[in-house]
Amino acid sequence: MRFLVITDFHQKLSKLELINRRIDEYGPDFTLFLGDVTDMGTGEDAARILSSINSEIYVIPGNCDPRDLPHKISDVAHDMHGKGADIGGQYFAGLGGSNITIFGTPFELTEDELYNGLRPVSKKGMVLMTHVPSYGMLDTIPSGINVGSKSVKRIVDEFRPVLALSGHVHEAIGAVENEGALFVNPGPAKEGRCAIIDLEGERVSSMLLGPKD
C-alpha cells in the first residue's frame, strides 16, 4: 500500500492545492494527517480543511487543534484519536495531542494520559500515528533539547511498531531506522512538506517531499 503523510498544516489554506497535486501525482491509497490541522482554530475549521483534500483521510489532532476535533471531523474523515484500525491488512493505531508544552496549547496531555490512551489500542508490528514524537527520535528543537514523549517511547519499546509517524517538532524532519522500526517526521505541511510511504508487510520505505519537489 501507498499513503501520504501530512502534519502541522496550521490552517495554511494556500497549501491545499499542493497537497491535492501530490495526491494526483503519487496516487496514494489514502492520507494520514498527524495533527495541527488548525492553528488554534475550531472543529468546524478542521472539517472544512479536511473536506478540501481529495483523499480518504485518517486523522489525529495536534496540540494546536481544538478538543472537539475528533467529533467534528467524523463526517469527512476517519477519527484515529485513541483508536486502532485495520487498513488494507495493516494495523494502525493513533493518538493525538502532545505532551505538556510551555505554550499552554489546547490539546496537551500528561504522560500518563498519553500512555493510557495508546496502550489499549497498540499491537505488535503496528503503524503508530502520534502527533508528538517518541522521546529521542526526531524530537530535537534548535536549542538541542529533546521534547518528545517518554510515554510514546515506552509504547514503541513495548510494541515495536514497523513504522512510527509523528510531527510536532517542525525542525526535526527526517526518516530514521532504529531497532527494526522506521521513524518519520515529514515536516510541516504549512511549508509544503509531506512524505510518501510504501508499506508491504514489514518492508517499508519513505520519500520526503519538500516545497520545491
| pLDDT average per 10 residues of sequence, the chain (213 residues) | 98 98 98 98 98 98 98 97 97 98 97 98 98 98 97 98 98 95 98 97 94 88
**Extended strands (E) in the chain:** 2-6, 30-33, 57-59, 78-79, 83-87, 90-95, 127-130, 163-165, 174-178, 181-185, 194-200, 203-209
Cα 32 from Cα 5, distance rounded (Å): 5
Are 1 and 90 spatial neighbours (Cβ–Cβ below 8 Å)? yes
CB neighbourhood size of 13 (10 A): 12
Residue 212's pLDDT is 85
Amino acid in the structure at residue 166: S
Amino acid in the structure at residue 209: L
Residue 89's pLDDT is 95
> Residue 24 is placed in which grid cell?
494526483
Question: Please, what are the domains in the chain?
Answer: 2-209 (3.60.21.10)
Residue keyed to cell 472539517 = 47
Residue keyed to cell 527520535 = 137
Are 127 and 166 spatial neighbours (Cβ–Cβ below 8 Å)? no
CA angle 82, 37, 7 (to 5 degrees): 80
